[in-house]
Amino acid sequence: MANAKQHKSSVQKEDNLVTQLLAKYITYWPAFLIFVIVAVSGAYVYLRYTTPLYEATATLIIKDEKKGADDSKLMESLNMISTKKIIENEVEVLQSRSLMENVVKSLHLYAPVFIEGKVKAQPAYTASPLEIVVADPDSITEAPKVPFSYDQSKGSVFLNGKQVGVVNEWISTGYGRLKFIPNKKYVPHELGKQFYFSLLKTKDVTNNILKGLKVAPASKLSSVISLSYKDPIPQRAEDVLNSLIYHYDRAAIDEKNSLAKNTLEFVDDRLSIVKHDLDSVERNVQQYKASSGATDISAEGQIYLQSMGAIDQKVSEYNAQLAAVDQVERALSSGSNGGGMMPAAMGISDQTLTTQMSNLNAAELEYEKLKKTVAENNPILISVKDQIEKLKPAIIQNVQNQRKNLEASRANLLATSNGYTSKLSSIPQKERQLVELTRDQNTKNGIYSFLLQKKEESELSYASTLSDSRVVNKAQSSKFPVSPNKMLIYFAAVALAIGGCIGFISLREMLSRKVLYRHELESMTSVPIIGEVAFNKSKDELVIKSGQRSFIAEEFRKIRVSLHFLGIDQTKKKVLVTSSIPGEGKSFIAANLAISNSLSGKKVILVDLDLHKPGLSKMFDKSTDDPGMSDYLTGDKELNEIIKKVPNYENLYFISSGSLNESPSELLLNGKIDDFIAELESKYDLVVLDTAPTVLVTDAFVLTKLVNATLYVVRHKYTPKILIKRIDDNLSINPLTNPGIVFNGVKTRGFFKSNYGYGYDYVYGDRQTKKEKREMKLRTEMKAKNVEKAVAKVK
């Protein structure tokens, strides 16, 4: 139950807030309408002339050593020189400037072609019959607009209306050496279009494309990379992604071929040396047999020869391994290999050393690749460099250990071989020499065969074009534009218009230095507000008439009732009306309040005590020369001489200000005003005093001690806020008797001029129904007849 009540309370608060906002701003609906129309029109123009973008997407799978994407055993046998990749590094490589520059150059994106339009040019990637190729794209001279045309029948090309050459030939122009080639993507369009091309810096085009390129792993556990690119032309978006993937694969293959090339050079060098040695040994054997006539060897010699041959074969293997170890050590010490890459480990039986060399090669390749795409202080580049620096000392240490082991093993075998040699000393000298030559020949043959095998393996890897990545989905563009989003643009425009209009209205009201709202009065002063009077649009300042109903008249009736809360009753009947500055309508309030009370049957007297700038006489069509308060206070007139009956108002009497005096404020201090007000109080049911504004003179503070209540008039959109803030301070020094504020001249917010400013819409005055008007007419006729009868009786 408690939750239900809380929910109901929150819903009511939300409804109240919405209702308040609607009530506050609904009267400004024309302004909102204008703002919305302007915003929607702006959105339409934006969408009309903004180039739509299409998005092309592609996916690529990478052989990531951490995520299990690898080749089959057959592929590994063909791809013997392969490098393992990390998907995070490959994402950076795919977004590198070097790869994108290759894409820009291959697709000739540095020379885009456009179709001349009435408002703006349109890209002609597929609409142009020609593409423009620049001889040196890295040193392009920028040209924003170069008109050209093409005579397809003759193959002639025209620049700025002049023939400069034909297609498929290099042409020297003021924009550099250019070649116009047929556009393979050309789709015929309507004839008569004017084409032009622009020449842009390759780096600028590259950077612009990279801004729209998105490369990211499909998921954290996947080795699939997703690529996307947005472009005004769907075909160009697809071509950019497909070309990027092609150049990425091409770069990976070139890196592997570079490693295979270094290995082949090393093997060829070794083969040339071994072949020269083998040829020399074979010539020596041939010469020896020819000169000595040695054709056969005894059985014992054959046994020794076989044993020593096996030993020599083993020694040769050790020598080959020592040579390989020496080559590795020289490569590590001198860094002579191109790109810092090690030759493939051949003849080395130690798997640890082989693994270390492979890891070093992979790290060197990774370092060279990253160095082309990232800065030197990149954390990944530094990490790879540190890995290389750690691997090299370990390999050198391992190489030194291998050399010691090989040299020890070779020494043991040589000792055994020397034993056999001593035994062979008994064999005839010629036969022994032949055995030594044959043994040397077999050794060289073994080394030569081994090197030939390694050369064939390296050539197989060099010839292989297997890539470390595979295309899952080729680039494909969206059927409809992905940007701009029409619904989102229109929605944002409407929201912006409404918010802008609310902000404009709120800012305008917030910056106003005049009083606009009742709550502002309540926040700036502690004086209570006893009534509000709507703005009087009529020229007649006496808005209350006998027998007529109006909205303003009803407001004065409310103020009449509110006077009781200020202490006005049958015994306390003196009301002072004042304001801060002239023009706030204090005389208007005083006159109509007096009329309203007189219509209720009370005997009311209205006194114009504004001796500085009187205004009540004009309202009642009285002459300013009529005797009044000034004359009474100076002793020139008696009280009964200045009191005038107001025509058309049976119970209303009026005392004007009289003739102007040079010192009006001093007249109020001569002591006569006290007797004057006391006498009026004894004769009338209500005494209304209209006095001068408080900011200009002190009359109100002099008179306030003689009255029972003070009405302080504040005018809407007229009274400065600073004066309202000073009311409490002024009252603390010069207090007014029972003050109450009347908020006068309240105007309608917004554009609904027929309604009251706070949303009220009563049916008064001009809004009377026909029935009410007929009843009012009958009452008026009856009253006139009664008056005629009374006059007839008197006669």
* 8 A C-beta contact, residue 716 and residue 584: no
Neighbours of 269 (CB within 10 A): 13
Q: If we measure between CA atoms, which residue out of 54, 98, 482 comes closest to residue 237?
A: 54
* 8 A C-beta contact, residue 419 and residue 409: no
Give residue for tokens 């020399």: 280
Q: If we measure between CA atoms, which residue out of 535, 473, 561 comes closest to residue 743?
A: 535
Q: Which residues pair with 148 in a beta bridge?
A: 159, 195
| Cβ neighbours of residue 730 closer than 8 Å, sequence gap 6 or more | 694
Give me the chain's average pLDDT, please. 79
Q: What is the pLDDT of residue 336?
A: 43
CA 397 to chain centre: 57
* 8 A C-beta contact, residue 71 and residue 211: no
Identify the weakest region by mean pLDDT among 80-84, 162-166, 420-424, 563-567: 80-84
Q: If we measure between CA atoms, which residue out of 721, 661, 670 comes closest to residue 692?
A: 661
Q: Residue 80: helix, strand or coil by DSSP?
A: coil
pLDDT at 724 over 60: yes
Q: What is the pLDDT of residue 298?
A: 57
Q: What is the pLDDT of residue 181?
A: 92
Instruction: Compute the C-alpha angle 185/140/137, nearest 5°.
Output: 55
Q: What is the pLDDT of residue 263?
A: 77
| Mean pLDDT, residues 437-445 | 79
What's the token pair of residue 52? Answer: 């739509």
Q: How far apart are CA 231 and CA 242, in angstroms?
A: 14
Q: What is the pLDDT of residue 349?
A: 67
> Counting beta carbons within 10 angstroms of the beta carbon of residue 110, is it exposed (0 to 12), middle (13 to 18) or buried (19 or more)?
buried
Q: If we measure between CA atoms, which residue out of 402, 395, 271, 378 comes closest to residue 340?
A: 395
| Mean pLDDT, residues 483-487 | 86
What's the token pair of residue 296? Answer: 């056969």
**pLDDT one-digit tens code per residue, 622-653:** 766 788 888 888 888 888 888 888 888 888 99
Strands 113-115 and 122-123: antiparallel
Q: How far apart are CA 318 and CA 308, in angstroms?
A: 15
pTM exceeding the 0.85 threshold for the entire prediction: no
**pLDDT one-digit tens code per residue, 359-370:** 777 777 877 777
Q: If we measure between CA atoms, which residue out of 212, 201, 251, 240 comes closest to residue 93?
A: 251
> Counting beta carbons within 10 angstroms of the beta carbon of residue 313, is it exposed (0 to 12), middle (13 to 18) or buried (19 or more)?
middle
Q: What is the pLDDT of residue 578?
A: 93
CA 65 to chain centre: 38
Q: What is the pLDDT of residue 709?
A: 93
Q: What is the pLDDT of residue 775?
A: 52
| Mean pLDDT, residues 523-534 | 89
Q: How confident is the model at residue 113 (pLDDT cuts 50, 70, 90)?
A: very high
Q: How far apart are CA 496 and CA 485, in angstroms?
A: 16
Residues in the chain: 795
Q: If we measure between CA atoms, which residue out of 392, 346, 389, 340 comes closest to residue 365?
A: 340
| Cβ neighbours of residue 138 closer than 8 Å, sequence gap 6 or more | 202
Q: If we measure between CA atoms, which residue out of 705, 292, 767, 254 comes closest to residue 549?
A: 767
Identify the weakest region by mean pLDDT among 11-20, 217-226, 719-728: 11-20
How would DSSP label each residue in 555-602?
HHHHHHHHGGGGT-SSS--EEEEEESSTTS-HHHHHHHHHHHHHHTT-
Q: How far is CA 111 from CA 114, 144, 185, 297, 754, in A?
A: 10, 10, 15, 82, 66
The larger pLDDT score, comparing residue 777 to residue 218, is at 218
Q: What is the pLDDT of residue 512?
A: 80
Strands 54-62 and 113-115: unpaired
**pLDDT one-digit tens code per residue, 206-260:** 999 999 899 998 888 888 999 999 999 999 999 999 999 999 988 888 877 777 7
Q: What is the pLDDT of residue 321?
A: 76
Give residue for tokens 């309030």: 589
Classify each residue of 51-74 as buried b or exposed e, where b means 16 or more C-beta atoms within 10 Å of its C-beta: eebbbbbbbbbbbbeebebeeeee
Q: If we measure between CA atoms, which residue out of 40, 44, 56, 113 comes closest to residue 481?
A: 56
Q: What is the pLDDT of residue 111?
A: 93
* 8 A C-beta contact, residue 721 and residue 520: yes
Q: How far apart are CA 337 and CA 579, in angstroms?
A: 100
What's the token pair of residue 97? Answer: 């400037």
Instruction: Compute the C-alpha angle 72/77/82, nearest 5°.
Output: 85
Neighbours of 723 (CB within 10 A): 20
Q: What is the pLDDT of residue 229?
A: 94
Q: How far is CA 503 from CA 500, 507, 752, 758, in A?
A: 5, 6, 20, 20
Q: How far apart are CA 247 and CA 238, in angstroms?
A: 14
Q: How far is CA 765 from CA 548, 751, 754, in A?
A: 7, 20, 12
The larger pLDDT score, comparing residue 793 to residue 121, is at 121
